[in-house]
Amino acid sequence: MDLLAEQKRRGAETLGSVKVFFMGGSPIPRALAESYLAQGVTPQNVYGMTENSAHQYTHPDDDTETICATTGRGGPSYEVRIFDQAERDREVPPGTVGEIGGRGAALMLGYFDNQAATEDSFNRDGWFLSGDLGQVDERGNLKIVGRLKDVVNRGGHKIHPARIEVLAMRHPAIEKAAAFPVPDERLGEKVCLAASGAQVQSLDPQAVLTHLDREGLSKYDMPEYFIAVESFPLTASGKILKRELAQWAADGRIRPTPVRWGGASSSGEGGE
């Protein structure tokens, strides 16, 4: 993201002689991958953890859809299966969202001096359970949906923040986005969308909801709070700390604006 922003600032049409780009660290927005492909660079989308290395990746001959929407099928040294979120020993069929499990040559033996954590990370058949949510398509390509702990429970309806974030970053004014839960007395949790970018401060929150609707987000998953931020709290590797954002909102350090999606007319576009 930072490279593209700097490239845009300089008015550079290409990244010189770069032909391949390695992408990882957090779910990759489709628009980000497409922006590299458009200038002749083939990004390699990868997925993994310290516990199992970068075991999943796209291949040079993969089509555009595979590169932009999945982390590929990986190689022969590590296999991936998807398990039920509530029953971690039960595998689910292709196309079903569940917890990503894996096993193979790249997998750790366990957590040093922490047998409890080790046992909690494996199911009874020896599959390492990552805490990440994903789904596998009919060709074996893995698509990351989000973190199991990041799922927002709005009155029993499970909302995956990663999808909201990916769609939000297709808006030309939004450079980075994070969807996180805020407490709600009646429903338990609601979704807040935080966004950053040079022009994001002037965005009308209703216009953001209209954009999300046009991109295909269900009305049941629409954010009910919005806030424009100058920067995000980040880990050392650049991942957004959503729990810290949630704490900032709880402490009053940031004050999200309530928003409500009521259909296309709620944006003020095309109505009276």
Please write the tens of the pLDDT for every residue from 132-182.
999 999 999 999 888 888 889 899 898 989 889 999 999 999 999 999 999
Give the whole-angstrom CA distance, residue 20 versus residue 41: 5
- Say if pTM beats, i.e. exceeds, 0.75: no
Give the integer Cα–Cα distance in Å for 109 and 211.
46
- pLDDT score of 56: 94
pLDDT per position as a tens digit, 192-222: 999 999 899 999 999 999 999 999 999 999 9
CB count within 10 Å of CB 259 equals 19
Angle at 211 between CA 209 and CA 217, to 5 degrees: 75
The predicted-structure confidence for 220-230, as pLDDT tens digits, reads as follows 999 999 999 99
Reported as a pLDDT band with limits 50, 70 and 90, residue 78 is very high
Classify residue 119 as left (phi > 0), alpha (psi -120 to 50) or beta: alpha
Q: Which amino acid is at 75?
A: G
**Confidence at 272, pLDDT banded by 50, 70, 90:** very low
The upper half-sphere exposure of residue 55, i.e. CA atoms within 13 Å in the direction of its Cβ, equals 24
The answer to whether 58 and 32 have CB atoms below 8 angstroms apart is no
Average pLDDT rounded to a whole number, residues 236-250: 86
Report how far residue 208's alpha carbon sits from residue 194's, in angstroms, rounded to the nearest whole number.
11
pLDDT of res. 267 = 44
Q: Can you list the alpha helix ranges (DSSP code H) found in the chain?
A: 2-10, 30-37, 64-69, 115-120, 161-168, 205-214, 242-251
pLDDT at 224: 97
20, amino acid identity: V
Confidence of residue 271 (pLDDT cuts 50, 70, 90): very low
| % of the chain at pLDDT higher than 70 | 96
pLDDT of residue 264: 59
Two structure tokens written together for 97 = 């969202």
Contacts of 126 (CB under 8 A, 6+ apart): 103
From the number of C-beta atoms within 10 Å of its C-beta (0-12, 13-18, 19+), residue 118 rates as middle
Structural domains in the chain plus CATH codes: 2-148 (3.40.50.12780), 151-267 (3.30.300.30)
Q: What's the pLDDT band for 269 if we cut at 50, 70, 90?
A: very low
Structure-block tokens of residue 28: 């990759």
Percent of the chain whose pLDDT exceeds 90: 64
Q: At what angle do helices 161-168 and 205-214 cross, to 10 degrees?
A: 100
CA distance 130 to 148: 9
